[in-house]
Amino acid sequence: MKRILSWLLLLCLLAGMLALTGCSKDDEKPQEAEQNEQTAGSPEEARTFSYLLDKGESTEYYLNYEDNPVMRYVAQYKTFEDATGTSQSVKMSFQIPPSGKELDNINLLISTQSYPDVMSMTYYGGSLAELYECGSILDLGPYIDQYMPNYKAWLEKNPNVITTTPVGDKNMQLSLVGIRANVTPYDLFAGWCYRRDWIVRYGVQPDTFFDPMKDTEPRENPRAGQQFTGCYTLDVNGNAIESAVLEENVNGDSWVDDVVFPSGHSDPIYISDWEWMFGIFEKALADQGITDGYVLSMYYPGFNQNGDLVSSFGGGCPWIYYDAENQEAKFGGNTDNFKAYLQCMNAWWNKGWLDKQFAERSGDMYYRIDDVAVRSGKVGFWQGSVSTLGSRIANESLPFTKGAVAYGAANPINDIYGGDEQKLKIPDTFYGAANYGGGVVVTDKAKDKDLAILFRWLDYFYSDEGAMLMNYGLNAQQQAQLQDPTYLKYGVDAAYTLVEKDGKQMVKFHDLLKVNDGNIRTAMNGSRVFGLSNPLEIDYGDTQTYIDHCIGQWSLYEPVGFMALYPFNNQLPAETVQSNNKVYSRVINEYMYVQVPNFIKGKKNFEADWDTYCKDLNKRGYQKTVDAMNEAIQKTLGN
């Protein structure tokens, strides 16, 4: 009996195991099967592709990117010529990486060879040349020539732009880059913002004016010590209003005031202007009884490797930047400029102006600034996006946001800290928008499919018609045809209309999409795929002047030192890319992230510890990266 029971038990166990194995096989089947069966060759499968995007949309709008209005429109109403010359529709499915895990996701896809047919490489830190050598991605050159007339036309019109990658002795088109037809200040996603209404409410006219780059001596201010005045001129519906104290139902973009900074300008230009303003913000916080707020929300962990603000102290950035004058790459983490920046931050820390927890916000989003405090109206100065400008942070349930008016500010010019080399120099290295960027690759998974139709589909978004759809969404005719549920849900009959202004054809967004709050505009258009951006200029209507002014401040100077604007990175050999990643990790992540906050907080002394800090940085091998970049620069310039 015992023996029978034992055998029964064994049989059950084996049956259970087989069942489990069977289950897991079934579970895995879709992925595996998809990869293999797609190559099988039925005409429909040959026109079915997958595309990895950088980012999707909130589930508030739709669950899958296939349900994006533009993608639905293209899938239903656009046909493309396939390899046999027949017009066919394309079935494109999209993959979206988990937010915050984009790098892990793409690394996993590549290491397990389970990547899709088309893949955005924005987050990939490795080398395209290496992927090509491994046979994972295709050389797109022949396909661009044959099937992508719009993309090819742009390349021919912009011969100075290098979109190729060196593989051995050849330069190959391994990726399709996203192109901007017009680079406008609107392409800047963020900049410095400050509470302009606090200056009016809590500040007074400065005693004197002095512009250190123009004046030889201070000028008397005839209105010294007087209160500033400021008011809103429009209500939320765009109607003119008279009351200066009205704080409800106002359009923050209509704010006007008579604020003048100590440099004599209506916008803050110098570090001394910023410090004057910070003094007012200190008073504003005290007068309002805000104990958990502060003057300046710094990005984590006290510096931005793109160079924002750091560059104000003689130029450059704390990582690798391009010295346009000498046409060479330089490392800026151990320069006197960066030291002056840190001395300024240390002075601000000692005055209690900085967010006390600036170095601890490792988990917060977006440069890890304290977005919660900013949007609660408890911060005077921060780096933020357009969505924090004007009265956009105003929220009825948050008392300190009542009547908030946020203005944009340019990177300042240092006139206080460091020596002559660090003073009165125009900032030259900070985030900037290039006329092309990013890139998608086509992988070997697609090579047995109908590549003609795939490349024609990709090229469509570089055409005038496709670019309009991709950038601005559906017009009235297209929406009438499609009856897209997302548009219907939000009552949008057309995402935009075309208007004539100053002799130019411009795009005017539907009122709901004027500001891209909650990415609503992005959800209505198809801009997550790569193509031609900004084919037309945008008319922002009554907020135009205000937004233009704020963004104008953000783009007041040219970021000539910002490396990402140049094609040098594409020219780096595979080994160098890997080596650069290592050095970046050792220099920035492992060392500067730890040490820099100590200088700002005064835990490290500039006299005693700066030399040791510089020596430690030297040991981490940044020079190798600088040399590699310079080699690429020389090669590029030579071309």
Binding site for another protein (CB under 8 A): 3, 6-7, 9-10, 13-14, 17, 103-104, 107, 110-111, 125-127, 130-131, 134, 136, 292, 301, 356-357, 359-360, 362, 578, 581-582, 584-586, 589-590, 593-594, 597
- Select 3 or 214, whichever has its Cβ closest to another protein: 3
Distance in Å, CB of 611 to another protein, minimum: 17
Amino acid at 585: S
Distance in Å, CB of 575 to another protein, minimum: 9
For residues 56 and 523, what is the distance between their CA atoms, to the nearest angstrom? 8
- Select 15 or 40, whichever has its Cβ closest to another protein: 15
- Select 352 or 518, whichever has its Cβ closest to another protein: 352
Here the tokens at position 536 are 């037309």
- Select 242 or 292, whichever has its Cβ closest to another protein: 292
- Select 7 or 77, whichever has its Cβ closest to another protein: 7
H or E stretch at 533: strand 532-533
H or E stretch at 545: helix 544-554
For residues 121 and 131, what is the distance between their CA atoms, to the nearest angstrom? 11
- Select 391 or 443, whichever has its Cβ closest to another protein: 443
Distance in Å, CB of 134 to another protein, minimum: 5
Distance in Å, CB of 570 to another protein, minimum: 17
- Cα R_g (the chain), whole angstroms: 28
Distance in Å, CB of 110 to another protein, minimum: 5
Task: Please enumerate, as own/partner, the contacts of 620-625 that have beta carbons within 8 Å and a separation of 24 or more.
Answer: 620/583, 620/586, 620/587, 620/590, 620/591, 621/582, 621/583, 621/586, 621/587, 622/320, 622/331, 622/333, 622/583, 622/587, 623/331, 624/579, 624/583, 625/320, 625/331, 625/579, 625/580, 625/583, 625/584
- Select 498 or 594, whichever has its Cβ closest to another protein: 594
Tallying the residues shown for the chain, one arrives at 639
Distance in Å, CB of 572 to another protein, minimum: 14
DSSP state at residue 169: T
Distance in Å, CB of 509 to another protein, minimum: 35
- Select 130 or 139, whichever has its Cβ closest to another protein: 130
For residues 105 and 111, what is the distance between their CA atoms, to the nearest angstrom? 10
For residues 35 and 446, what is the distance between their CA atoms, to the nearest angstrom? 9
Instruction: Give yes or no for a contact between 182 and 236, defined as CB atoms under 8 angstroms apart.
Output: no
Distance in Å, CB of 363 to another protein, minimum: 8
- Select 180 or 586, whichever has its Cβ closest to another protein: 586
Distance in Å, CB of 399 to another protein, minimum: 19
Helix runs in 383-512, H state only: 451-460, 464-472, 476-482, 485-489
Nearest to 526, CA basis, from 458, 467, 441: 467
- Select 11 or 236, whichever has its Cβ closest to another protein: 11
For residues 226 and 206, what is the distance between their CA atoms, to the nearest angstrom? 8
Distance in Å, CB of 407 to another protein, minimum: 29
Distance in Å, CB of 634 to another protein, minimum: 25
- Select 300 or 341, whichever has its Cβ closest to another protein: 300
- Select 27 or 44, whichever has its Cβ closest to another protein: 27
CA dihedral 532, 537, 539, 545 (to 10 degrees): 120
Distance in Å, CB of 545 to another protein, minimum: 40
Here the tokens at position 135 are 């046979």
Q: For residue 244, give Cα distances in angstroms to 231, 313, 338, 344.
A: 4, 38, 43, 37
- Select 59 or 111, whichever has its Cβ closest to another protein: 111
Other Cβ atoms less than 10 A from the Cβ of 45: the count is 17
Q: For residue 3, give Cα distances in angstroms to 131, 242, 436.
A: 58, 97, 74
Distance in Å, CB of 359 to another protein, minimum: 5
Nearest to 74, CA basis, from 452, 439, 482: 482
Q: Which residues contact 158 (CB under 8 A, 6 or more apart)?
A: 435, 436
- Select 185 or 301, whichever has its Cβ closest to another protein: 301
Distance in Å, CB of 127 to another protein, minimum: 8
Give φ, ψ of 166 to 5 degrees: -75, 130
For residues 588 and 604, what is the distance between their CA atoms, to the nearest angstrom? 18
Instruction: Give yes or no for a contact between 250 and 391, defined as CB atoms under 8 angstroms apart.
Output: yes
Cis peptide before 69 (omega within 30 of 0): no
